[in-house]
Amino acid sequence: MRIVNEPVAFTCNGCGATQVSSHVADLGPLSFWYGIKSEVAEKVLRGRNFPSRLVECEKCRLVQQPPSSEIAEVLQFIYSTAGINNPSAAAGSKGWGAQVVMQLREVLKGLDPACVLEIGCGSGFLIDEWKIRGAKVAVGFEPSSAIDETPNGATVVRDYFGVSKAREFSEHFDLIYSFGVLEHLSNVHSVVAAAAELLMPGGDFIAEMPNGEAGLMDGDLGMFAHEHLNYFTPANLTLICEGAGLRVQRIIHNRMEIIIHARREFPARMGSQSEPGPSGTLQAFISKGHVRQRRIKDIIRKSQAGVAMYGACLGLCNINALLPEERRNRFGVIDSDSAKWSREVAGVNATVSGSEGTDYSMYSDIIVVPYAFQEEIYRYLQGRNVPCKLWRAYEGTSYTPASWEAEAVGKS
């Protein structure tokens, strides 16, 4: 991991500003994380590492991956090939997916829209609920969908979201939302502007995405994923929404995610009234990341009877790739998700053991890997009185808040 001083031309995914950055955060060659290993995917990805670089927009401060034809080609393969696990947790599934949906529902429950649109509806899990709640029009866009209609009658469009296609269902919508979508897009500004155009005056735009600010601030080695082109903060999300004529109502954020709620103004006030936030984010991320790398490497090196990594996740994939070659894959892997038990995950050559069935006496040390859940997992292991020394991969974090408290932003 290092800062490289070389010119990189790019157009910002968030605000559309074209520029040349002279500072690039190079995380080194990393494995491509896509979840539980698939034979189909491993035929293409086995043994390969890919460039992992980040730049920061000078205008809106959005940290993002610069354009890469190699990454774009792999993403196209991952997204379009059947039989490959989705790298992101499914909406409503246990663990991460269930927790995020619960919080998103809290934001949505006070709304009573007649016309609803979801950008990137996946299996249709969320858009289907709006038909139950009485919405006259409930339509989701999902190019990889295998269905045209959900069980309760919501429409699923097997295509990318766009204004003309959306208007085949309604001229305007009361609510447009997305769940884990904006981080994947190279044209965030265009998509948010299209949503604003489709909203009726006073209509609501709500989006959920991983919290890039938390990961950057605390040096989360699992923050970077090749599928995630963008790493948002509350500040640059506010800028993007305001630039589309949306007034931000509130932002909720914790270590795991950000949820932003904005409303279309009438008449629309185009352009931003907010500040982009401080620069220097990438340098701070690399510096803190080095601290995390050294700590994990030293724990493994000094372990008396072997190390287990708790959390078969993106963080583990990246941590393994960043270890010295002689230390890679020299650890056990434990996870609470039964879908991963007795299987391997991308980027790691170790079979995952279940949290309940593991013989913890095999190890002298356990490193808790997931940044967002480290305290919960640490307390769980303490409660089980495992005969191992417990370590947090992210000791001494500084990001706040860590709870779901609404933060007032924008002007009334």
Residues 292-350: tens digit of each pLDDT: 999 999 999 999 889 999 999 999 999 999 999 999 999 999 999 888 999 999 999 99
**Residues 393-398: contacts with CB within 8 Å, 24+ apart?**
393/221, 393/292, 393/295, 393/296, 393/315, 393/319, 393/367, 393/368, 393/369, 394/218, 394/219, 394/220, 394/292, 395/295, 397/218, 397/255, 397/371, 398/217, 398/218
How far is residue 288's CA from residue 113's CA, in Å, rounded to a whole number? 44
pLDDT at residue number 107: 75
For residue 183, which amino acid is it? E
Q: Which of 73-87, 139-153, 205-219, 246-260 has the lowest mean pLDDT?
A: 73-87
Query: Is residue 4 within 8 Å of 24, Cβ to Cβ?
Result: yes
Mean pLDDT of 237-243: 93
Strand-strand pairing, 137-141 and 155-157 = parallel
- Band (pLDDT 50/70/90 cuts) for residue 91 is low
Confidence (pTM): 0.91
CB 192 within 8 A of CB 246: yes
Is residue 264 a contact partner of residue 201, using CB atoms and an 8 Å limit? yes
401: cis peptide before it, omega within 30°? yes
pLDDT at 270: 62
CA quadruple 57, 225, 227, 331: dihedral, nearest 10: 170
Question: Which pLDDT score, from 0 to 100, does residue 408 have?
Answer: 47
What span, in angstroms and rounded, lies between the C-alpha atoms of 126 and 296?
Answer: 39
Per-residue confidence band for 267, with pLDDT thresholds at 50, 70 and 90: low
109-143 b/e with 16+ CB inside 10 Å = b? eebebebbbbbbbbbbbbbbbbbeeebebbbbbbe
pLDDT higher than 50, residue 7 = yes
Question: Domains in the chain, start-ordered, CATH in brackets?
Answer: 2-80 (no CATH), 96-281+401-408 (3.40.50.150), 298-392 (3.40.50.720)
- The residue among 167 and 403 whose pLDDT is bigger is 167
Q: Cα separation of 75 and 88, whole Å?
A: 13
Cα 351 from Cα 354, distance rounded (Å)? 10
Edge-to-edge strand ranges of the sheet holding 199-210: 155-157, 137-141, 115-119, 173-179, 199-210, 257-264, 246-253, 407-408
